[in-house]
Structure 1
């Protein structure tokens, strides 16, 4: 698996549709040569899954609140919602389709304006239960969205997830844009099932953005092998997954902590 942590630089948008993708420069070994015959076009690099962990102090702050075992449920839920807002903001930075318009200002002047395209709402897919908490403030970030809930439960012995709710449309378009939220990507099995379902209904994995609070190497490897064009946005890549399928150091059970339940 190859994952890449990337930072962005300011970039404008133009025209209709998706904002242009930024290029990511990979620096490898440099060898000097004077042989003109070696100047041949290089083969196109294969797609790689990209993992973004924005180096923002607020993201680190809310992650620390979520990690603490002393954080009560109401504060945990609030911190998760705030962290979700920040990560969603990063995830849609280059993702939202835009249109160019003109608006009239209060001074009677006309100004050029770039607006989010209302005809192409982002299809938001929270994985229940805890994925819903990440979206509590999503409406403040994404002006136009459609929400399709999916619910999965994981067997505590086999760690295999099975669906108990799926509100995805029966047919999806190739240019549909998806934002999937789940606080933790541990083994990656649930996320793979959700993306597989989107692809089976006509969606494209390169049009999927995943937002998670913490992720672990097993999930990243599984997703990178299966969907090399995928983009994941997270607060932290944690070290490992224990025998129960929990991320270490992790957050504990995000759903139980957010809703004040226990097993």
Structure 2
């Protein structure tokens, strides 16, 4: 039986609030960057649900003993932000998982062919077994960049079923491509817009997340 891509758009009021602020074209750079960081935080909060292994512990409270659970620190955690725009969400993601390793990946899209090429690769030679990986990619329109990223990561030993994508906004072409090549991956997105125009932009979208985050 073939698996099917799972895409979650959490009905969280904070995600909707900050996505709306990010969409508004008059939002100033500092506030836009705050919106992206907040979406990174809240989407990561949703993505870690039933994903991080825990260990049972017994502890002493001021009044007695009780059983509890801690996140298993022996299981590796990793963020892979896709530059530049991924950096805008990374800060928020890290507030929840501050001990996770960060492996930067720089991709640029050819505006004529819409194909992605890699200009910076700081991935490890091999990912440790059972590593939980969070790809931080604010925009997924045609899917070229995210497919290139998934290929690079899985070629280095990552288990696709242990990969989750933190995404502010996506569109059907990207989702269809991921479903075709990496159906075991799970996506946590702020919203799915229906249209990608001829220039490869999501409509209504929010523009260029990298440019709007860094004022360029």
Q: TM-score range by the shorter chain?
A: over 0.9
Q: Deviations over 1:108-155 (max 9, x none)?
A: x12211001112131110001111111112232125311101000111
1:52 pairs, out of 1, 4, 8, with 8
Larger Rg: 1
> 2:30 aligned with 1:67, yes or no?
no
The answer on whether the counterparts of 1:121 and 1:144 sit within 8 Å (CA) in structure 2 is: no
Shift of 1:92: 0.8
2:32 pairs, out of 76, 81, 93, with 76
> 2:130 aligned with 1:175, yes or no?
yes
Specify every segment of 5 or more residues in structure 2 that has no aligned partner in the other structure, as ranges: none
State how far apart, in whole Å, the 1-side matches of 2:92 and 2:10 are. 18
Q: Deviations over 1:225-259 (max 9, x none)?
A: 11111110001000111111110010100000000
2:166 pairs, out of 190, 206, 211, with 211
State how far apart, in whole Å, the 1-side matches of 2:93 and 2:156 are. 25
Specify every segment of 5 or more residues in structure 1 that has no aligned partner in the other structure, as ranges: 1-44
Residue 189 of structure 2 corresponds to which residue in structure 1? 234
Higher RCO (CA < 8 A, seq sep 6+): 2
Mean Cα displacement is larger for which, 136-145 or 221-230?
Answer: 136-145
Residue 78 of structure 2 corresponds to which residue in structure 1? 123
State how far apart, in whole Å, the 2-side matches of 1:192 and 1:135 are. 20
Q: How does 1:245-256 map to 2 (within 5 A)?
A: 245-256=200-211
State how far apart, in whole Å, the 2-side matches of 1:217 and 1:139 are. 28
Residue 48 of structure 2 corresponds to which residue in structure 1? 92
SS in 2 for 1:187: coil
The runs of at least 4 aligned residues of structure 1 exceeding 4 Å deviation read: none
Residue 244 of structure 1 corresponds to which residue in structure 2? 199
Residue 164 of structure 1 corresponds to which residue in structure 2? 119
The count of corresponding residues between Structure 1 and Structure 2 is: 216
Q: Deviations over 1:46-80 (max 9, x none)?
A: 31100000111111111110000010000000011
> 2:89 aligned with 1:134, yes or no?
yes
The answer on whether the counterparts of 2:75 and 2:130 sit within 8 Å (CA) in structure 1 is: no
> 2:54 aligned with 1:104, yes or no?
no
The answer on whether the counterparts of 2:39 and 2:92 sit within 8 Å (CA) in structure 1 is: no
SS in 2 for 1:126: strand
Q: Deviations over 1:206-228 (max 9, x none)?
A: 11000110100100000001111
- TM-score normalised to structure 2 length: 0.96
The answer on whether the counterparts of 1:133 and 1:258 sit within 8 Å (CA) in structure 2 is: yes
State how far apart, in whole Å, the 1-side matches of 2:98 and 2:67 are. 19
- TM-score normalised to structure 1 length: 0.80
Residue 10 of structure 1 corresponds to which residue in structure 2? none
